[in-house]
Amino acid sequence: MLHFVTGNAGKVHEVQSLLDAEVEQFEFDYTEIQSQDLREIAARGAREAYREVGEPVIVDDSGLFVESLDGFPGPYSAYVEDTVGVERLWRLVEPEADHSAAFRAVVAYCDGGEFEATPEPVDRGERRGPDQAAAERSSATTDDQVDADDLSVKFFEGVVPGEIVAPRGDGGFGYDPIFEHGGQTFAEMDTEQKNAVSHRGRALARFAEWYEQS
């Protein structure tokens, strides 16, 4: 049985809607280290939770990165939602000329086993300039490196670009009312529509492709 480690019911709903595999929510308060890196946070959570439950686990660490605020709130998105709130984040972005933003999700999987690293494509960067190759790497929507730490963790990432707008819609959770993609806010989409384009949906689709054939 796959355990999804989270206290966030909105995430659970999206994961259960997307994955064919049976998933059980596992509420476990893992150490959320202060880190700029979603991977580090997710990997720590996956290792701790695996040690606790002894069965396969996934952790989703995600965040909203606003261009004009240099990527804020990013890894601090949960803290900012709890303190400042979604409406006031919109007020902060409203006067800015550039409203562009991205949601990012890292799904970390741990089952106590070891995973093969996927080899880098041999032609990476050959037909592209170094700047573009670097940009592609930093905005990579797929990545499945292996952490060299004690317990192996496999990562699946998803990114979705959008715009910060005045709140609209009552679906979803968190920052969904102020994140617009393709003319609709995430809070105006149903779960399937959101999963088809969202950061979490993209990361989970990559995870599912790997998990269901392994």
Q: Which residues are catalytic?
A: 61
For 81, phi and psi rounded to 5 degrees?
Answer: -60, -45
Q: Is 152 in the site for ligand ITT (CB under 6 A)?
A: no
Which one of 3-11, 108-116, 124-132, 142-150 is the stretch in contact with ligand ITT (CB under 6 A)?
3-11
Q: Where are the alpha helices (DSSP H) in the chain?
A: 9-18, 38-53, 77-83, 86-93, 130-138, 191-197, 199-211
For ligand ITT, the binding residues in 187-206 under the rule CB under 6 A are 198, 200
Q: Closest CB to Na ion among 7 and 112?
A: 7
DSSP 85-117: -HHHHHHHHTTSS--EEEEEEEEEEE-SS--PP
Shortest distance in whole angstroms from residue 183 CB to Na ion: 30
For residue 86, what is the DSSP state?
H
172 binds ligand ITT (CB under 6 A): yes
d(Cα 209, Cα 214) in Å, to the nearest integer?
A: 9
8 is a site residue for ligand ITT (CB under 6 A): yes
CB of 179 to ligand ITT, least distance (A): 7
74 binds ligand ITT (CB under 6 A): no
Half-sphere CA count of 171, side-chain side, radius 13 A = 16
* 76 touching ligand ITT, by CB under 6 A: no
Tell me how far the alpha carbon of residue 58 is from its chain's centroid: 12
Task: Establish if 162 lies at the interface with ligand ITT (CB under 6 A).
Answer: no
Site for Na ion in 64-83 (CB under 5 A): 78
Token pair recorded at residue 106: 């890292």
Task: Please choose, out of 111-119, 136-144, 172-180, 205-213, the segment that lies near ligand ITT by the rule CB under 6 A.
Answer: 172-180
φ/ψ region of 70 (left if φ > 0, alpha if ψ in -120 to 50, else beta) reads: left
Residue of 109, 175, 207, 211 interacting with ligand ITT (CB under 6 A): 175
Residues at the interface with ligand ITT (CB under 6 A)? 6-8, 11, 60-64, 77-78, 81, 103, 172-176, 186, 198, 200
